[in-house]
Amino acid sequence: MSSLPSDAGGEPVERDVDMRAHAHVKDHIRRLKESGLERFPFADLDANLRYETTARDTTRAPHRVHGAM
């Protein structure tokens, strides 16, 4: 069995609709990868914002002067 569109069963219009929907999903995945969002640890945007804020705040912690209390 071949996965070529010309070998698929069904009406041409139905196959076209299915292929366009699949291409639409692939476009979303491509945009997600290009945006860098896949590098965040959580699927939830709010959780990622809290994660990013916490990471940023911990890297901006005030530096202690040697010998000062």
Residue 67 in domain: no
Residue 51 in domain: yes
- Say if residues 7 and 1 touch (Cβ distance below 8 Å): yes
What's the whole-model pTM score?
A: 0.41
Residue-wise pLDDT for 14-65, tens only, equals: 999 999 999 999 998 888 788 877 788 888 889 989 998 998 888 775 666 6
pLDDT of residue 62: 64
- Say if residues 25 and 35 touch (Cβ distance below 8 Å): no
Q: Considering only CA atoms, which of 38, 69, 36, 42 is closest in space to residue 54? A: 42
- Say if residues 65 and 59 touch (Cβ distance below 8 Å): no
Residue 64 in domain: no
Please give the helix or strand (H or E) that residue 41 lies within, else none. Answer: none
Residue 68 in domain: no
Domain that holds residue 42: 11-59
Q: Which residue has the higher pLDDT, 60 or 69?
A: 60
Q: Indicate the number of domains in the chain.
A: 1
Residue 20 in domain: yes
pLDDT of residue 47: 92
Q: Which residue has the higher pLDDT, 45 or 1?
A: 45
pLDDT of residue 61: 58
